[in-house]
Amino acid sequence: MPAKIWFVGAGPGDPDLITVKGRALLEQAGAILFAGSLVDVAATLYAPAECEIRDSKDMTLEEMTAWLLDAAARHDTVVRLQTGDPGLYGALVEMTRPLDAAGIAWAVVPGVSSALASAAAAGETLTLPEVTQTVILTRVAGRTPMPEGEDLEALAAHHSTLCIFLSITLLHEVQRALRAAGWAEDAPILVVQKASWPGEEKIIRGTLADIKRKCQAEKVGAQAMIIASPALGARDWPSLVRSKLYDPSFGHRFRPATVHAPGDPSHE
């Protein structure tokens, strides 16, 4: 079989959250290039004893590409192990263009995003009937500028769920953008550092007004997800709008309606 390079999402940090397919590839890999600054080293424990393993945290994009091409010349299965999902802030296209040019086969195995792991850690939902049905995955402009129309203030104007990556050191800018977009000072904000990392996860709940102070008190300054959402804290609300899908008055091809909704002509 010709060599193939697999871009595998390691998930948010807990090695048990890697997919079954991702783990199987690690177990048969001849070489693994992993993002040591972000991916728990425990993820490489699935590799065979003779596997060539390299941490990429001190490498440039060109050095990583050269390493992958060299490994593919010597091994049938090569894995680039990335945090979260390779398609989110993972330089996937930048790494695969040289592989295409060299005629090297590659494929992607998706992973659990830290956005989803953070919501799970806090027991929160990102969508809620008649509250928000939209989730925006974004970041604050830093050394990487935002494209026109994608600044956080413009996105926050939708007042839907915002999962803000790579921005914990710019939390003051997150606060400014949300205020400018009309979010209230008591709007709930959730910050989760190292979601799912055994023994290292931190969950900080606050409001737009006090979340920066709370994060400073907890010394949260890296590897943290910021979630702003009108659905945060919903499990403590006195009442909720019921999901139509599971309502007895809602029938579908797997389950007939057993209770008629008010105003339903079939109820007459």
Residue 268 in domain: no
Q: In this structure, what CATH number is given to the domain that contains residue 224?
A: 3.30.950.10
Quick one: which H or E segment has residue 202? Answer: strand 202-207
For the chain, how many structural domains are there in total? 2
SS (H, E, C) the chain: CCCEEEEEECECCCHHHCCHHHHHHHHHCCEEEECCCCCCHHHHHHCCCCCEEEECCCCCHHHHHHHHHHHHCCCCEEEEEECECCCCCCCHHHHHHHHHHHCCEEEEECCCCHHHHHHHHHCCCCCECCCECCEEEEECCCCCCCCCCCCHHHHHCCCCEEEEECCHHHHHHHHHHHHHCCCCCCCEEEEEECCCCCCCCEEEEEECCCHHHHHHHCCCCCCEEEEECCCCCHHHCCCCCCCCCCCCCCCECCECCCCCCCCCHHHC
* Whether pLDDT at 228 is above 90: yes
Helix 61-72 and helix 92-102: axis angle, to 10°? Answer: 40
Residue 253 in domain: no
Alpha-carbon distance 38 to 50, whole Å? 24
Domain end position, chosen among 78, 94, 109: 109
Q: Could you tell me if 44 and 27 are in contact, meaning their C-beta atoms sit under 8 angstroms apart? A: no
Residue 258 in domain: no
pLDDT per residue as tens digits for the range 18-53: 999 999 999 999 999 998 877 877 778 899 999 999
Place 211 in a pLDDT band, splitting at 50, 70 and 90. Answer: very high
* Identity of residue 30: G
The answer on 225 and 121 residing in a single domain is yes
The values of phi and psi at residue 254, to 5°, are: -100, -15
Of 225, 197, 208, the residue nearest 174 (C-alpha): 208
Record the pTM.
0.90
Residue 146 in domain: yes
* Whether pLDDT at 176 is above 50: yes
Measured between alpha carbons, how far apart are the two ends of the chain, in Å? 67
pLDDT at 264: 53
Domain end position, chosen among 70, 87, 109: 109
Domain end position, chosen among 84, 109, 134: 109
The answer on 95 and 118 residing in a single domain is no
Residue 260 in domain: no
The answer on 156 and 102 residing in a single domain is no
Residue 20 in domain: yes
pLDDT per residue as tens digits for the range 136-153: 999 999 888 999 999 999
Query: Would you give the DSSP letter of residue 241?
Result: P
Residue 248 in domain: no
Q: Which residue has the tokens 């004893």?
A: 49
pLDDT at 267: 40
The answer on 187 and 88 residing in a single domain is no
Q: Which domain holds residue 68?
A: 4-109
Place 268 in a pLDDT band, splitting at 50, 70 and 90. Answer: very low
The answer on 79 and 168 residing in a single domain is no
Partners of 188 in the beta sheet?
207
Residue 21 in domain: yes
The answer on 208 and 137 residing in a single domain is yes
The answer on 209 and 99 residing in a single domain is no
pLDDT per residue as tens digits for the range 185-203: 999 999 999 999 989 999 9
The answer on 158 and 76 residing in a single domain is no
